Amino acid sequence: MQAINPSRVNVNGGYICLWSHWKAAPLTEEGTEPETPGTKAELQTYMPQDSDESCMCGSEKPYEECCKKEQYWWPLCPDPELEGYSLVAPQSVTFRQIDGAALRKRLMEDDRLVFTDNSENQETWSYWGETLIETPGHGIVEYGELALKHNHTLLVTVASDEQRHVLLHFLKEIAGDLLSKPVHKYAPLQVFDKRTNKTQTLPPLQWLKRPVGQTE
């Protein structure tokens, strides 16, 4: 993770924003396929917010009465197609006993996904959404990952509830008939202490007690 410069962060006002990017692989002499995305990178930025604006965490309260009071910086991440921001809530959804060959074909055919990795036991696609969003110098924003493991388990990994909502809707649309019963699981969350700027990992249940970003 890239460190935030503490001198640029106002303890009383704002958010840490996390961006996941695919940085394009440089062209080689043999000529890299333009589809090859390269490597995944994460970028942290600081987004200031005024006290009287409604809090970006989605609570609809003024920032002054909401996340400004918190001990931690709650990180945000961009929603698909950059339609706002959501609290980071790392999570996964698993579908077991699926027809891997049939699903792989559908995933390969869809333009909103890019095939990013192929190893012995796993194939991975990155969801870039309907409108590909490229940030100068950093790469293409991605909104979640699909991993097909051992040809019969699909693991969907996203950074927020909103990303999960969009990615599962997409999956239902292209492969609803192939999916099994999903198993949803939140992961621990990394937060930053406002006073010390040190990172701390909170277990899933601890941050789920917050009034926003609740599970469906």
List interacting residues with Zn ion (CB under 5 A): 55, 57, 59, 66-67
CA max distance for the chain? 57
Asked if residues 186 and 94 have their Cβ atoms less than 8 Å apart, the reply is no
Give the contacts of 216 (CB within 8 A, at least 6 positions apart): 161
CA 80, CA 133: separation in Å to the nearest integer? 10
Report, in Å, the least distance between residue 62 CB and Zn ion. 9
**Consecutive H or E run containing 166:** helix 161-175
CA angle 67, 185, 90 (to 5 degrees): 40
Q: Which residue has the tokens 């995944």?
A: 40
**CA-based R_g, the chain, Å:** 18
Report, in Å, the least distance between residue 164 CB and Zn ion. 20
Asked if residues 103 and 125 have their Cβ atoms less than 8 Å apart, the reply is no
Of 56 and 166, which has the nearer Cβ to Zn ion?
A: 56
Of 69 and 195, which has the nearer Cβ to Zn ion?
A: 69
Reduced to 3 states (helix: H, G, I; strand: E, B; else coil), residue 58 is coil
Of 59 and 197, which has the nearer Cβ to Zn ion?
A: 59
Report, in Å, the least distance between residue 68 CB and Zn ion. 8
Report, in Å, the least distance between residue 1 CB and Zn ion. 22
Of 77 and 168, which has the nearer Cβ to Zn ion?
A: 77
Of 59 and 199, which has the nearer Cβ to Zn ion?
A: 59
Report, in Å, the least distance between residue 72 CB and Zn ion. 11
